[in-house]
Structure formats: C-alpha cells, structure tokens
C-alpha cells in the first residue's frame, strides 16, 4: 500500500466530518471517492494529503506516518511526492501557461531553463503546445484544467489528489480532462485519489469507495447485501 488511513476522525467544532474512516490504496491504483454532498469526501482527501491533521487515527505514506510528522517535513513531502488538482484549476492568473507549469519546479529550485523545457514538453503531451505564452485567464475551462493536470504531474508525484477536477466543466470537456489525467497517471505509474460526484468520472477509476456520514463503505459489499436482502424477502 502506498497510502493508508486507519480510524480517521475529524470534526469541525461539533460537526463530525469523518468517523473512524479506513482506506488503503495501492501504488499505481486509481480510486474514486464518491458519496453525497457533505459526507466528508474533501475532508478525507485533505487528511490523506497531510493538509488537515485528523483529530484521531493515522495516515501512512510509504511507511512514514504523515499525521505526526513535523510541519516542515510534511510540507516538503507534499511538494515532492504529491500533486493536486482542484475544481477550479487554481492557476496563477497573472502568469502565462508555461510559467504556471514551470512554477512547482522553480519552487523546487530546478534551473529555469530545465523547468521551462520540461513545462514545454508536458504542454506538448497535453496538446497545449501552442498555448505556452498565453495568460491563463484567456483559456477555456477545459484548457485550464488540462494545464492544472500538467502542473500537478510535472514534478513526478507518487500520488495525485484531485477534488472534483471536472466539477466546473461540461461533460465533454470533463471527459477529456479525465482521459488525460488517467492516461498520464497510468503512463507515469502515479496513484490517483479523485473525489467526484460524477459516475462518469468514477468510471475511469480502478475502484470506487463511498463516503456516507463520515464513514467509508465498499459499494460492492453494499450491493451484495442489498441482493441478499432481496433473496430473503
């Protein structure tokens, strides 16, 4: 397992968001996290990525305990081993497309020439080679999300966390972003954990887990018990 949560609980004041959630994800696996609004999906993702600290429980990444790590080490790990794609891309609007993709490498002290060279290669791979000099505010939603995918993968992360990456797109643009994200992740052997409401997005994953009321359930077990119920009736 590359990443594992054991008995994770987290509340916001008196509102419990996660209750004893367990999840284990293998290296290279693509997992969709589904469930109703407010069920705790984003909270789970943020705990797994070390952005939030759980109130109790453990998060393990490649044999290291993430939730008790020092802030400095956890920040370093997030920068080097994790990639993130959010619903609205969160590109820097004042910068060009190429600047945005080069940015995580420049922050990691890669030399300018190499950073821009690699950014250019990734933009070509994404079919966005022509757009490197554009400002991100001039992109369509689908193009912006593809740039966000490039920016998330350019540093070679081991785990890509995506929170509703197609939530702001129409279904065709959403499908294109997912195809690209999943295709590149498979080529690079990157593990993907994607929160989504959309069954079409989840269809790209190897496996689905469902969060309900802060607890994780396995949809196959749910389906089987529903079938068993039918037989008894």
Ligand X SMILES: Nc1ncnc2c1ncn2[C@@H]1O[C@H](COP(=O)(O)OP(=O)(O)OP(=O)(O)O)[C@@H](O)[C@H]1O
Q: Which residues bind ligand X (CB under 6 A)?
A: 12, 15, 17, 35, 37-43
Minimum distance from CB of 36 to ligand X (Å)?
7
Output DSSP code: residue 96.
B
Minimum distance from CB of 206 to ligand X (Å)?
21
**Quick one: 136 or 196, whose CB is closer to ligand X?**
196
**Quick one: 38 or 129, whose CB is closer to ligand X?**
38
Minimum distance from CB of 56 to ligand X (Å)?
16
Both tokens assigned to 220: 């196959």
**Quick one: 4 or 198, whose CB is closer to ligand X?**
198
**Quick one: 43 or 143, whose CB is closer to ligand X?**
43
Q: Residue 196 and residue 51: Cα distance in Å, rounded?
A: 19
Q: Which residues pair with 212 in a beta bridge?
A: 215
63: left (phi over 0), alpha (psi -120 to 50) or beta: left
Both tokens assigned to 42: 């984003």
DSSP E strand boundaries for 112-226: 159-163, 191-195, 207-212, 215-217
Minimum distance from CB of 200 to ligand X (Å)?
16
Instruction: Give the contacts of 147 (CB within 8 A, at least 6 positions apart).
Output: 89, 91, 97, 100, 101, 123, 126, 128, 131, 136, 139
Q: Residue 195 and residue 31: Cα distance in Å, rounded?
A: 9
Minimum distance from CB of 52 to ligand X (Å)?
9
Q: Residue 54 and residue 122: Cα distance in Å, rounded?
A: 35
**Quick one: 16 or 28, whose CB is closer to ligand X?**
16
**Quick one: 51 or 103, whose CB is closer to ligand X?**
51
Place of tokens 């993702």: 45
Q: Which is nearest to 208 in space by CA: 158, 217, 188? A: 217
Minimum distance from CB of 225 to ligand X (Å)?
23
Place of tokens 């759980």: 54
């Amino acid at each position: 397992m590359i990443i594992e949560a054991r008995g994770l609980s987290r509340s916001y004041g008196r509102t419990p968001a996660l209750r004893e959630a367990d999840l284990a994800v293998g290296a290279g696996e693509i997992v969709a996290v589904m469930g109703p609004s407010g069920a705790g999906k984003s909270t789970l993702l943020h705990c797994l990525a070390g952005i939030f600290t759980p109130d109790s429980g453990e998060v393990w990444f490649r044999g290291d305990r993430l939730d008790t790590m020092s802030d400095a080490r956890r920040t370093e790990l997030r920068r080097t081993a994790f990639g993130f794609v959010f619903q609205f891309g969160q590109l820097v609007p004042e910068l060009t497309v190429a600047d945005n993709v080069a940015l995580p490498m420049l922050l990691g002290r890669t030399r300018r020439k190499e950073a821009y060279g690699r950014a250019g290669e990734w933009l070509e791979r994404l079919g966005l080679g022509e757009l490197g000099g554009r400002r991100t505010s001039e992109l369509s939603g689908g193009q912006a999300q593809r740039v966000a995918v490039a920016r998330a993968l350019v540093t070679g992360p081991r785990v890509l966390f995506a929170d509703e990456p197609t939530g702001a797109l129409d279904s065709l643009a959403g499908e294109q972003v997912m195809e690209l994200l999943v295709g590149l992740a498979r080529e690079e052997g990157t593990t993907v954990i994607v929160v989504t409401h959309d069954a079409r997005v989840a269809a790209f994953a190897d496996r689905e887990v469902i969060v309900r009321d802060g607890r994780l359930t396995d949809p196959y077990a749910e389906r089987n018990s529903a079938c068993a119920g039918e037989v008894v009736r």
